[in-house]
Structure 1
Amino acid sequence: MTAALAVRTFSLTCLLALSLSVAGWIRPADAQVTAFVQAVAEGAAADRDIAEFYRSTGYAALWTGTDRTSAKRREALLRAIEEAPAHGLPAAAYDTAALKVGLRSVRSERDLGRLEVAMSKLFLTYARDVQTGVLTPAKVDAGIVREVPYRDRKGLLSAFSKSSPTGFLRALPPQNPEYVRLMKAKVEFERLVARGGWGPEVAASKLEPGQSGQAVVALRNRLIAMGYLKRTATTTYDERMRQAVGAFQAEHGLDVDGVVGPGTLAEINTGATTRLHQIIVAMERERWTNMPRGKRHILVNIPDFHAQVIDDGKVTFKTRAVVGSDVADQRTPEFSDMMEHMVINPTWNVPRSIAIKEYLPLLQRNPYAAGHLRIIDRRGRTVPRDVVDFRQFNERTFPFDLKQPPSDGNALGLVKFMFPNRYNIYLHDTPTKNLFGREARAFSHGCIRLGDPFDFAYTLLMPQTSDPVGLFQSQLATGRETIVELEEYIPVHLIYRTAIAPAKGRIQFRRDIYGRDARIWQALQSAGVSSGGVQG
């Protein structure tokens, strides 16, 4: 018995599956490999995951079958791809036009086999993009050292083959409420940009309550357009405008004083298109962290300058934070890890980069400089300063470690919180409290300083003791370095979000303090992502 050739056609517009006219597909009994199977094997040969999947299924068709299940798979995939722009994905990357041509030109089993592989490749490309992001973070910025939770590609195909197609594809993007709210904000800002944004910028250097004139009118109109001020004809910077400015400042991480200084003015004048870009970047970042964050976890949003403890999705503790300076080798990296313990009355082991770049020049000029530090040799012995000529060493040959014993003036303060990692980043107290009063708090060498470290410690200890304050203070009173283990490790996520979509209220924005979001947006554009708007 011979098999008749079939013609399978496909309509993208109505999303119906290939219609097949078949007399029979069974090859002669002694044929070990049909033309379809051979074409699939050849087409998948360069992709190990796809090849292994089809070998595991005996080269059964996933997409090009004549059954209703195959039709539902095709329909679900193409619907998902049509919705790709809503996720800020590059629609052109999913070449459905070429696929359409291929579908309409099927004239043989080999054509059908090649089409089968093409659809699996399309599925895997879309699935990875929508689930874990279009970009590879570290290739965009060396400070984004996050391990993206990529899924096994063969496993994706296998799971999809056994699942409801529509339900499976809908479950691929991040399912957390933040991502859903960002998607909604993206739609709103696309409409806003299409309408021309918030109107003309405010031309001024500084505006204060009591002033009047054209700049105040421009500020008034901008605040009305942004939704911070009800319609009014006032030409004077009155109390209602002061309150509106204060609300804007609060929602943009600025000092709330009701005065439009240079920093506030820069944020007010930031266009809606730029804000839309921030939202799209935030969605990409959410895909990079598309994983369970932990029932209880610690979240540090670097450009927001705050650290939080989250329990069951709710913020149960929040404190101001100081993060790394915008200087090479001092910017706080982005990654996730597990907090294991805290160290009360810590010793500061000066990082080598700081020791050789900051302290070695001081010691070369004066061996008794930085007297709060101990000079330690390779055998762990304290070295008297008067027996060392520091001028004989350079950054490469300096043979000592520098340590600061526990004290009120210790650079780490009186407690540090450890999630051991290769980047030597941790959270800690600091004797330099004045920096927490600053609006922008990027001053550290990379670690995160906490404004309320004791209360943070009490919060972490609550699940394991009825008296967290007593436990902490009793160890603190000894003056000795003490490690307190956390009975349950806590996930720590160092993130970077300049667009924040809270459960209630307007979307909020923060400054791109390290320029990382700008680089991500450029990379997304290069990958084919478009905001589809005009500057406003």
Structure 2
Amino acid sequence: ARSLAATLAARDTTAGTYRFGTRHPEYERLRRALTAHRELAKKGGWALVRGLAKGGWALRPGDRDSIRVPVLRQRLAAEDELAAAVRGAAPAADTSLARRASTGQATRVAPDSGGTALIGPVAPARRLDPAVYDSALVVRVAGFQARRGLKADGVIGAGTLEALRVPIAQNIRRIQLNMERWRWVPLKKRGRYLLVNIPAFTLHVVGAGGRDELTMRVIVGNKQKSTPIFADDLKYVVLAPYWNVPTSIVVKELRPHQARNSFYLKGEDMEVLRGDKVVPESKIDWKTVHEGSLAPYRVRQLPGGANPLGPIKFILPNDNDVYLHGTPNQGLFGREKRGFSHGCVRVEDPYRLALHLLRDQPAWTDERIRKTVAAGEPKWITLKAPLPTYLLYLTAWADADGAMHYRDDIYGHDHTLGRALGLGWGASTGAYRAQTRRKSQ
């Protein structure tokens, strides 16, 4: 405790934190990133790409700007240098952003790919004009956008400009905060694990070698009903699940409808139970029932297209009663910011996730999974080996190629932790935005 106090008092989370023995590779990459960022900060940091005085700066592929484009190149070159330092100066694999961009092998970054899944050929520039926003530079900007959770279209609008303008000191604090978070995470066992990064709105199944085997978009809790941070083992896959309606929803939302229309619950594919036995809806006085008097009854929704859990539910027993599940509302996955749930994690492709988790149980083919769901009878499947699962709040991390990724502080946890550690502002883009606005007023 004395060592931790000394570290915090010195506002240095490198040496002291590492002495406490964390062995996560993600922590080690952040440690190297912190060192590299501090070295760059000593040299003056990076150029801040500034917008026009009014209305920001929209830069599109093919535009020419003899002032801002060269500065943009310098800013992205700093990113490349930092990534090289984090990965130990070894050349990245051919999938790395910098290599693809320099050779003109791609035009854009796939959504939520983390900045390395590049798509589509583009002719390399024949003669470099440093003032032209050319195709190779577009690829690099698209990678920068993807690593910030922005739309990776290569167009520099207000959001991208704001991210480019974050000073290096702000990112240093973000790295420090997330190093501290990794200290709290139980050491992972060897082998696969599942990670939900809440502020990134993504799910990853990570293999024993540290590379993603599967990744997809997720929807997490909103600010009022945030998704909790915890670690546990995912043990069960439930096909065609029931939805046990929370008591608060039964009383506040269903009760008025059922009181007016005695067939309302049936029309919504819902039923009333006492214990495990289905009973008539009339057993409850819907005009007077309240949260304290609903017991011993409960309401559940049958499997089907209207069920808010979607076709599949993934259970990791925990005190928060939080689980992963599908959803009939697929449209929300197209949003950049996906904090819409009441705390549970909605996965974009539950069939794909189920098939991946059940790959050690070959009897469960994609066809069999879909047929079981279509039959409408809940089916619990126990995984052969529980899968370590982590619901974490990471607003900064370095990938295997050394590139830094950042996300907004959607719940304000960075701000709270930053103040507790004596690091000042919590280092989210949102905090930086508010801070700079006040300075400009």
TM-score relative to the length of structure 1? 0.61
For 2:33, the aligned partner's letter is A
Q: Which ranges in structure 1 are unaligned for 5 or more consecutive residues?
A: 1-46, 48-76, 95-125, 132-169, 530-534
Superposed, 1:68-87 pairs within 5 Å as: none
The 1-side partners of 2:49 and 2:251 are apart by 47
Superposed, 1:161-176 pairs within 5 Å as: 172-176=20-24
Q: Are 2:239 and 2:378, in contact at CA under 8 Å, matched by a contact in 1?
A: yes
Residue 509 of structure 1: how far off its partner (Å): 1.5
Task: Give the count of matched residue pairs.
Answer: 376
**Which structure has the greater CA radius of gyration?**
1
Superposed, 1:106-505 pairs within 5 Å as: 130=17, 172-203=20-51, 204=56, 206-211=58-63, 219=72, 221-227=74-80, 234-328=130-224, 330-360=225-255, 371-376=267-272, 378=274, 380-384=277-281, 390-398=286-294, 401-465=298-362, 468-469=365-366, 471-505=368-402
The 1-side partners of 2:164 and 2:312 are apart by 39
Residue 336 of structure 1: how far off its partner (Å): 0.8
Report the secondary structure of 1:200's partner residue.
coil
Q: Which residue of 2 aligns with 1:102?
A: none
For 1:517, the aligned partner's letter is D
Q: Which residue of 2 aligns with 1:121?
A: none
Deviates most, 483-492 or 202-211: 202-211
Superposed, 1:501-520 pairs within 5 Å as: 501-520=398-417
For 1:413, the aligned partner's letter is G
Residue 202 of structure 1: how far off its partner (Å): 2.4
Residue 225 of structure 1: how far off its partner (Å): 4.3
- Deviation by residue 1:428-485 (Cα, 9 ceiling, x = unmatched): 1111112222222221111111122112111111223365435534533432111111
Deviates most, 471-480 or 406-415: 471-480
Q: Which residue of 2 aligns with 1:71?
A: none
The 2-side partners of 1:274 and 1:206 are apart by 24
The 2-side partners of 1:258 and 1:175 are apart by 37
Q: Are 1:407 and 1:479, in contact at CA under 8 Å, matched by a contact in 2?
A: yes
Q: Which residue of 1 aligns with 2:83?
A: none
Residue 418 of structure 1: how far off its partner (Å): 0.7
The 2-side partners of 1:222 and 1:357 are apart by 53
- Deviation by residue 1:151-178 (Cα, 9 ceiling, x = unmatched): xxxxxxxxxxxxxxxxxxx6x4212322
CA-based RMSD of the aligned residues comes to: 3.8
The 2-side partners of 1:355 and 1:197 are apart by 55
Superposed, 1:42-57 pairs within 5 Å as: none
Report the secondary structure of 2:155's partner residue.
coil
Residue 398 of structure 1: how far off its partner (Å): 4.9
The 2-side partners of 1:494 and 1:275 are apart by 23
- Deviation by residue 1:359-392 (Cα, 9 ceiling, x = unmatched): 445556766657425252545444447x866443
Residue 353 of structure 1: how far off its partner (Å): 3.8
Residue 321 of structure 1: how far off its partner (Å): 3.1
Structure with the higher fraction of residues in helix conformation = 1
Report the secondary structure of 1:282's partner residue.
helix
Report the secondary structure of 1:90's partner residue.
helix
Q: 1:414 to 1:234 in 2, by over 3 A?
A: same
Deviates most, 297-306 or 310-319: 310-319
Report whether the alignment pairs 1:90 with 2:8: yes
Residue 332 of structure 1: how far off its partner (Å): 0.7
- Deviation by residue 1:258-280 (Cα, 9 ceiling, x = unmatched): 11233323322222112111111
Q: Are 2:30 and 2:398, in contact at CA under 8 Å, matched by a contact in 1?
A: yes
Q: 1:265 to 1:402 in 2, by over 3 A?
A: farther
- Deviation by residue 1:390-432 (Cα, 9 ceiling, x = unmatched): 4434455555533110113311111111111121111111111
Q: Are 1:499 and 1:508, in contact at CA under 8 Å, matched by a contact in 2?
A: yes
Residue 250 of structure 1: how far off its partner (Å): 2.1
Q: 1:212 to 1:394 in 2, by over 3 A?
A: farther
Report the secondary structure of 1:312's partner residue.
coil
For 1:374, the aligned partner's letter is M
Report the secondary structure of 2:154's partner residue.
coil
Query: Percentage identity across aligned positions?
Result: 34
The 1-side partners of 2:190 and 2:69 are apart by 47
- Deviation by residue 1:21-63 (Cα, 9 ceiling, x = unmatched): xxxxxxxxxxxxxxxxxxxxxxxxxx9xxxxxxxxxxxxxxxx
Deviates most, 436-445 or 218-227: 218-227
The 1-side partners of 2:263 and 2:421 are apart by 52
Q: 1:293 to 1:368 in 2, by over 3 A?
A: farther
The 1-side partners of 2:150 and 2:226 are apart by 21
Q: 1:257 to 1:374 in 2, by over 3 A?
A: same
Residue 92 of structure 1: how far off its partner (Å): 4.9
Report the secondary structure of 1:314's partner residue.
coil
Residue 351 of structure 1: how far off its partner (Å): 2.3
